[in-house]
A and B are shown apart, each in its own frame.
Chain A
């Protein structure tokens, strides 16, 4: 299991050819209270950078992009009733969706935890 990060404040846990995607603790803290999450349908294919999910705070709606290309195998059903999970446990129970990777090579362009922390510290 390796964890990757994007400059759009998403994280991916990769296990074989399956990636679990969510938003980082930093992202949730910036968004504030999350009141709604729309996760992608099972079977949806996404290219890297496509809109994959929507996250809404009290104040604003934001798109969550697919950090890599792939086919969605599951959205986190728990977020429908409890979107606040994203605030409470953004990098665990508050995951957004899982997909099968189309091209594992796309992971090379992403940051590891140390690089992401460094990236955030400069914001």
Chain B
């Protein structure tokens, strides 16, 4: 048997099997030294199968991806996402300065409010996707009110830091919180479990954040996530992460969940993954992320790629990211071609796999806009075999975020 194709956050997923079979690293090996995160030994003690990912050893699964995925949809799953970059920005007019790189309304964010945004390149391509939060007086980072907290992808954080440092004025301080752990607790029972451990979190609503304390440790808790479920992301000092993870997993609703299920959950939720569904070649509109461009910013501009993005908006674009349900049972994965009637490649599958909650293979693909309407039948080619799929509205599984007033 051999590893052939796969879909996951990076090639390093291949090593979930590759190393296990052979112990010699194959695809995706990086020359940089693989580092350990604060919860490393905790994952191993819980049976996590560790694989190199984004420069760190990370758990791809514990009991199995399918069971972990379904557990998260029904109860609460604990994800270690400490590989992600946590950054603080402070200084004069920091919100206006961030707006020179991000197309969202950052000035309009209230204290403890957060937004999904994009770090854009000059040509309108995407350096990274991220979450940005305005900090109030009471925050867990001992920083002044009006500073910003940002979470960026692990595999891109060093490049992002370069871009940010290069373009932001020297008066803006960027603090990379590389001693902080980041945990995500996701699922319909996440609020019940976390409220028991950290009283008060239930008062948060989707896309808001606040400071809490646990055993004398400052926590920064946001009601957000990457699974489509209700849930929280908790930033805390790395040296407290193990005890806190243990306290969460002591709750009957909570089990640790690996990166494998994180990927299948986000795919079902229709959420794009940087490096796969988004990259420097994709623009926000093609990626169907128009919501990240707020009205004021579209009109005013002042962010990289504004002219090109507005042009694309007028012209309707050429390709668009869509969701696909694949006929049959065989998954169609990243790299498969979208083909026209003559078999000519007209698009690409950027994520794909078997969806445990949908019980069907699903995918995300960039297709010509003429083929992007829900209900359109699409032909795919993968490893010499033709598959058929239908364009569907995403998410594949309804989001269950707990919004204000709900």
Contacts and interface: CB of A to CB of B under 8 A. Distances in A.
A58 B264 contact: yes
Interface stretch (B60-68, B236-244, B247-255): B60-68
Interface in A46-82: 54-65, 80
Interface string B1-45: 111111110000110110011110000000000000000000000
A19 interface: no
A65 B1 contact: yes
A56 B66 CA distance: 13
Contact of A62 (B3, B7, B354, B356): B3
B404 interface: no
Contacts of A57: 65
Contacts of A61: 4-6, 331, 333, 383
Summarize A's interface: helix, strand, loop or mixed.
strand
A57 B65 CA distance: 9
B65 A33 contact: yes
Contacts of A9: 1, 21
Given A30-B17, A36-B331, A63 B353 contact: no
B1 A58 contact: no
Contacts of B66: 32-33, 58
Interface size classification for chain B: 35 or more
A111 B23 CA distance: 20
A9 B17 CA distance: 12
A123 interface: yes
Contact of A56 (B2, B20, B22, B354): B354
A10 B1 CA distance: 7
A63 B5 CA distance: 9
B58 to A, nearest CB: 14
A33 B7 CA distance: 15
B132 to A, nearest CB: 31
Interface in B329-386: 329-331, 333, 353-354, 356, 361, 383
B21 A30 contact: yes
Interface string B58-91: 0011001111010000000000000000000000
Contacts of B60: 59
Contacts, number: 90
A58 B22 contact: no
B48 interface: no
Contacts of B125: none
A32 B1 contact: no
B4 A32 contact: no
Nearest to A81: B329
Given A32-B61, A36-B329, A36-B331, A59 B2 contact: no
A59 B330 contact: no
B62 to A, nearest CB: 11
A60 B4 contact: yes
A94 interface: no
B21 A60 contact: no
Contacts of A83: 329
Interface in A1-58: 8-10, 23, 27, 30-33, 35-36, 38, 54-58
B231 interface: no
B6 A60 contact: yes
B284 interface: no
B305 interface: no
A18 B76 CA distance: 49
Given A31-B17, A32-B64, A123 B22 contact: yes
7 contacts: A33-B64, A35-B329, A36-B330, A56-B330, A59-B7, A60-B4, A60-B16
Interface of A: 8-10, 23, 27, 30-33, 35-36, 38, 54-65, 80, 83, 123
Given A23-B1, A61-B4, A61-B5, 4 more contacts: A32-B61, A60-B4, A62-B1, A123-B21
